[in-house]
């Protein structure tokens, strides 16, 4: 039997949305308040969905200890209480939550082997959320 397991995490980061390829006026028009040079912050909620057969000996798709450990080490410790604009992956791309979803997906895709990665979802605020599923179909 194949099941999909979703785990939620939280981290807080700051960012500024600004593109060096745009004029100051274009940046302001495109990003509005998010272009404030001092940046601003969010309490992000991260959902990681993995899937796979339910192991008949443990009743699990994967052990949460393994998933939590990986996400803590490779994702949360990287982004929590950080300024995203200072990180190497955002040196040449704008740290929008779209781009952050893709970065987090790729960290998991490269490094987490215990179950199949289905999707990463990020809530930037209570009103905005983003999902990235790589080449998987996004299940509803």
Residues within the interface to another protein (CB under 8 A): 1-9, 49, 54, 56-61, 63-65, 139-140
Q: Where are the alpha helices (DSSP H) in 1-140?
A: 24-31, 64-71, 77-79, 97-111
Closest separation in Å from C-beta 2 to another protein: 4
When the beta carbons of 45 and 85 are compared against another protein, the nearer one is 45
Q: What's the rounded Cα separation, in Å, for the pair 6 and 9?
A: 10
Closest separation in Å from C-beta 6 to another protein: 5
> Scanning the structure block, which residue is given the tokens 């952050």?
100
Closest separation in Å from C-beta 4 to another protein: 4
When the beta carbons of 66 and 98 are compared against another protein, the nearer one is 66
Contact yes or no for 107/122 (Cβ under 8 A): no
Encoded tokens for 60: 């699990």
When the beta carbons of 54 and 81 are compared against another protein, the nearer one is 54
């Amino acid at each position: 039997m194949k099941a999909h397991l979703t785990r939620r995490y939280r981290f807080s980061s700051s960012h500024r949305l600004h593109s060096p390829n745009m004029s100051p006026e274009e940046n302001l028009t495109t990003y509005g308040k998010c272009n404030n040079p001092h940046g601003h912050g969010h309490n992000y909620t991260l959902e990681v969905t993995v899937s796979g057969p339910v192991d008949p000996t443990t009743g699990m798709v994967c052990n949460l200890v393994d998933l939590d450990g990986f996400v803590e080490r490779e994702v949360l410790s990287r982004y929590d209480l950080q300024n995203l604009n200072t990180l190497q992956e955002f040196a040449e791309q704008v740290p929008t939550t779209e781009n952050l979803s893709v970065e987090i997906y790729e960290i998991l895709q490269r490094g987490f082997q215990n179950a199949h990665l289905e999707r990463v979802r990020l809530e930037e605020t209570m009103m905005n959320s983003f999902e990235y599923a790589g080449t998987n179909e996004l299940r509803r």
